[in-house]
Amino acid sequence: MKIPPGKSWDKILDVILVRIVVAAALLVLAAQVFLAGPYGQNVEPVISHDYMAPQQTAAGRDLNKPVVTFKLKEFISLPQARLLVNGEAAGVFSDRYVTVSVAEGDTLQVDGTRYERPFEIEVLNVSREVTEPQPGFSIKVNGSLGHIGVVRLSR
């Protein structure tokens, strides 16, 4: 290759490198268009319209009903662990804290059957009317169904 007069190797390599980068970017763009197909892919948003953030969930709950808040100890989340009220899933430990509405005589349980490792749940806080379970009560679940207790109200 002949070097034109007045141009050095570093200038020529600089131009060649810029052309290679532009060609690579165009190649990536063409590949994305090709992979999208004739109608494009059906793209779904990361957060759909049905998503309810934690603060929205609390707003949707009946604020006049008593609540019990549970804390997952030693883990940030266990999304397969369920909090059961009368045998029905009322909360999921996708976050460290779960708050559920309760009534007199409700049975509280933790479904830990999907985990082989033991984990611990603590009753963090309760409404004024709730006498059972008490804040600070803790239960260790080891791959089974853990019984927290029956809800008692002071009314």
Structural domain includes residue 51: no
pLDDT in tens, 67-116: 999 988 887 778 888 889 998 888 888 888 888 888 899 899 998 888 88
88-93 vs 152-153, strand pairing mode? unpaired
pLDDT in tens, 18-63: 999 999 999 998 888 777 666 555 555 555 555 444 444 444 456 6
The token pair that represents 133 in the structure block: 């379970």
Q: How far is CA 58 from CA 53, 86, 135, in A?
A: 9, 20, 20
Structural domain includes residue 14: yes
Angle (nearest 5°) at CA 55 between 49 and 57: 65
69, 30: one domain: no
| Structural domain count of the chain | 2
67-73 vs 119-126, strand pairing mode? antiparallel
25, 73: one domain: no
Structural domain includes residue 2: no
Structural domain includes residue 101: yes
Domain residues for the domain of 15 are 7-38
Structural domain includes residue 138: yes
